[in-house]
Structure 1
Amino acid sequence: MTPSTTPPNLLLITTGLLLVILLALSGWQPYDRATWLMEVAPIMIALPILVATRQRFPLTSLLYACIFIHALILMLGGAYTYARVPLGFQLQDLLHLGRNPYDKIGHFAQGFVPALITREILLRGHHVAGRKMLAFLTVCVVLAISATYEFIEWGAALALGQGADEFLGTQGDPWDTQSDMFFALLGAITALVAFSRLHDRQLRSLTRP
């Protein structure tokens, strides 16, 4: 393994501690405690897994960086709720939109990062060889993850009723579910088009004896 391919342990430890601190800050006084917990739950699940698998299955530095950025997006959305993130209001004014678009950034990342995770697992496990099939399966997995997340939102709406409004963040859009999945699809395609070559180089260095 080379330092340019996978971050040294000290950098990962520092980044992990920073992530925990930022997570605590995001939950200090969130707009809605239940919404914050549901939004940052993926971080609470993923972080212990990343720590536990660091030695036997280290990821590429590209993937670690993308996971960190995705975690920041989730924490910001959890702290304010997606419909109230200040950055979203700035984008709304700049682009003359009818709603706060921050949740679309979240769903774009929900496609972008899982696409690289899926790609890395499929390639390192030698589960698929053809590049076209690799891209196809990666997009399929991303859409499956996006659909599962929409099922979770549906379940929250059924269980909590009006209390799930902040978590859903539909802002009155009847096509919110479809547009969420579309942005996840865009994220996956963008990741494959923009970063496949860099990802391949890092994977070759990572698996080189």
Structure 2
Amino acid sequence: MRRTPLHATLALIVLAALLVSGIAPYDRATWWLEVSPVLLAAPVLLASYRRFPLSDLLYWLIALHCLVLILGGAYTYARVPAGFWVQELLDLSRNPYDKLGHLMQGLVPTLIAREILLRGGFVAPGRMLAFLSLCVAMAISAVYELIEWAVALIAGGGAVDFLGTQGDPWDTQSDMFCALLGASCALLCLTRLQDRQIAALQAERRPKD
């Protein structure tokens, strides 16, 4: 496929970041928890690459999301240096880096769900497609918060770095709100670009007479 060099480059960047982050992370257990979505997604993307390749937009965003997760795993979300810079710049009470992760948690799954639903012919283009795509993203966000709760029950105080609440009693609600913002931004700003790339991808894969 003509797009393979781009995808291979993105994969190598993510792999390099993953390996570097794993050399000496702040907390090894937290690192495993934070990068586990990357480790789970990679085999799925590889297995489906030839049969159901995604749009370039999605591969870019998935790679970016992976990098956000990997950086958070290396430092823990509450200690990412870039987050401290934003905290000081905006005079915030906490490191906001984890909110970027939850924005991506809404944005990327929304577009993945939208592309699968649209290309699979499960839903026609329109409001229902947008609604169901957003619902998928919010369901993933809710499941992730349940996983965090389960880890907190199992690990107790050892889950503080993974949870990254930084003393905020409304952290779960604000995390899901950030996911909602990310999902809404995806639907408002990126669907036309995604539609163009899907059309080009389908034309590329259409059998030639």
Segments of 5+ residues of structure 1 without an aligned counterpart are none
DSSP 3-state at the match of 1:57: coil
Contact 2:10 2:60 in 1 (8 A): no
Distance 1:49 1:130 in 2: 26
Q: Indicate the RMSD between aligned Cα atoms, in angstroms.
A: 1.0
Distance 1:179 1:118 in 2: 23
> Is residue 49 from structure 1 mapped to residue 14 from structure 2 by the alignment?
no
Distance 2:28 2:119 in 1: 39
Contact 2:80 2:97 in 1 (8 A): yes
Alignment match of 2:152 (pick from 139, 153, 157): 157
Distance 2:50 2:61 in 1: 19
Distance 1:12 1:135 in 2: 27
Partner of 2:181: 186
Partner of 1:113: 108
Distance 1:13 1:91 in 2: 32
Distance 2:61 2:27 in 1: 26
Deviations 1:65-111 (A, max 9, x none): 00000001000000000000001000001111000000000000000
Q: How many residues align?
A: 204
Partner of 1:123: 118
**Mapping 1:1-209, distance limit 5 Å:** 3=2, 8-208=3-203, 209=206
Distance 1:130 1:45 in 2: 29
Distance 1:159 1:176 in 2: 19
Segments of 5+ residues of structure 2 without an aligned counterpart are none
Q: CA shift at 1:130, angstroms?
A: 4.4
Distance 1:17 1:46 in 2: 15
Distance 2:10 2:134 in 1: 29
Q: CA shift at 1:11, angstroms?
A: 2.6
Contact 2:118 2:125 in 1 (8 A): no
What amino acid does structure 2 have at the position aligned with 1:157? A
Distance 1:59 1:42 in 2: 18
Which protein has greater RCO, CA pairs closer than 8 Å, 6+ apart? 1
What amino acid does structure 2 have at the position aligned with 1:19? V
Which aligned runs of 4 or more in structure 1 are off by greater than 4 angstroms?
Answer: none
* Identical aligned residues as a percent: 60
